[in-house]
Structure 1
């Protein structure tokens, strides 16, 4: 009879992260984990990452240490106008479709949810393209919600301040129209989203592994891009099911290009490889 091997410290840590966030970290991510936690190891004067994780798992570190670790482990990169064809589809198809529906129902507000908003680039990209549609004569109001598990990313998103190198993917005319620069030397090489867009875009904490979401159930479009690839099959299915409950009938779910084959839900029909509409 073969005895089951005892989980290593790394195994137990990865299991904890998966249970709390849904993110699966294979053993091949050991180096990434080590790099992201190195400063915490040094902060506590410990010899290596394993010693740090042992103390974390044993509850021997301050209570706010685990949220800090989750923040470091789950932070993903993002950029303005990433997968730009989604924003073309948003203004060219989703917006006119949903506005026609809204007018028939006597409402004007268009609701968009960036469900893994990171530092806000996706949400503010949507704000820019929706505001451009308004400037061109589309009569509607809109509200954008950005949610993320990372408190640090949410602070950045709320501040809405971005380095110049982050703006290289934003069309020049939109940079001029929607970003402000200050004379303060501390703001050199940085710009801030204009108040008009910040007023329409709010950010708050949300863990996609929660059993329910405190979000409206008549959202016109949800962006959930390049997130599901980190979850296992069961968690992917459950997250999509919960999100579907927050999409208005006829509304849309947009996922990343690596996630087209992941979405399987009886209420969602695929209209393009990465775009699904609620029946």
Structure 2
């Protein structure tokens, strides 16, 4: 006589098994990611990549990572899927007024110095801007300085490799808890509350949004602009690259930094031992000589 499945057996039978990635497929992915984007992917990140690719497998109707690998390396897949892959790989962790001492130094030292040096708008680049918190913070700080210095003006270029995260940045909508760190006076001045009070959302005011030009940029490709920047923020970005790639990137940043301009990096990053035309003026802040 056939034994009926118990409810427990039925529940077990309905569990969906997550497809596993082979080491061979991971090596193909990691080699491609390193070659195209410069991002190091050691074997320790296999589980992370395996989990993050689940959404892409479902979207494409694929059941294994090997099938996804075959599609990715096909001519059609390489053209269509590469930007989706980098959206999966990149980690976009950022906050408003992250590392606040950087912005204090901007107001007390950097902006007064540059406003005396330059008889033109100050050019700022937020490299690796993620979902926009950094460039919008910069825009608020510079706008406040401009309000007290009538001849001061500025423009901000914000770049990231992820098209998905750039769309979020351009939309400029954030949850209220995300903006808690911003001083109340700045929130009142530069943010709009949602008309739907049930949605605890705010949006950057249009006059602030228009100050930021968002563009997609892969650091492994030649920088598509030739003008020199007065301030470059590249914080907590190069930690995803190996040391040789970091050295090349910082040299490229210095080439795009005007003499007397300032480079801000993250506290988890170091330029120790690199031959760069900059001097340290504060922890993780450098000026081109």
- State the TM-score, normalizing by the size of structure 2: 0.86
1:260 Cα deviation after fit: 2.6
After superposition, where does 1:32-111 map in structure 2 within 5 Å?
Answer: 32-59=48-75, 61=77, 63-102=79-118, 107-111=119-123
Q: Distance in 2 between matches of 1:269 and 1:85?
A: 18
Q: Give me the whole-angstrom Cα distance separating, in 2, the residues matched to 1:29 and 1:69.
A: 15
- Equivalent position SS for 2:202: strand
Deviation at 1:62, TM superposition (A): 7.1
Distance 2:216 2:240 in 1: 19
Whole-angstrom distance in 1 between the partners of 2:273 and 2:70: 37
In structure 2, which of residues 35, 40, 47 is the aligned counterpart of residue 31 of structure 1?
Answer: 47
Asked if residue 270 in structure 1 is aligned to residue 280 in structure 2, the reply is yes
1:99 positional shift: 0.9
The counterpart of 2:258, out of the listed 248, 262, 275, is: 248
Q: Per the alignment, in what secondary structure is the counterpart of residue 204 of structure 1?
A: strand
2:36 aligned with 1:20: yes
Equivalent residue for 1:144? 156
Deviations 1:61-117 (A, max 9, x none): 473222111122124211111111111111111111111111xxxx23111100111
Match status 1:177 vs 2:189? yes
List alignment gaps of at least 5 residues for structure 1: 1-6
Which residue among 227, 244, 254 is the counterpart of 1:217? 227
Is the Cα contact below 8 Å between 1:75 and 1:153 reproduced in 2? no
Query: Does the 8 Å CA contact 2:115/2:152 hold for their aligned counterparts?
Result: yes
Aligned match of 2:140: 128
CA–CA distance in 2 between the matches of 1:162 and 1:262? 36
| Residue 226, structure 1, aligned to residue 236, structure 2 | yes
- Relative to the length of structure 1, the TM-score reads 0.89
Partner of 2:18: none
Label 1:275 to 1:61 Cα distance change in 2 as closer, same or farther (>3 A): same
Give the C-alpha shift of residue 162 in structure 1. 1.3
**Whose Rg is larger?**
2
Question: Could you tell me which residue of structure 2 aligns to residue 3 of structure 1?
Answer: none
Secondary structure, counterpart of 1:259 in structure 2: coil
Gap change, CA 1:262 and 1:15, over 3 Å in 2? farther
| Residues 195, 232 of structure 1: alpha-carbon distance in 2 compared, 3 angstrom cutoff | same
Deviation at 1:51, TM superposition (A): 3.7
Check conservation: 1:22, 1:209, Cα contact below 8 A.
yes
Distance in 2 separating the partners of 1:44 and 1:150: 19
CA displacement 1:190-217 (0-9 Å, x = unmatched) = 111111111211101111111x212343
For the 8 Å contact 1:254–1:274, the answer to whether it is kept is: yes
1:208 lines up with 2:219 in the alignment: yes
1:263 deviates by: 7.2
Paired residues, what number? 267
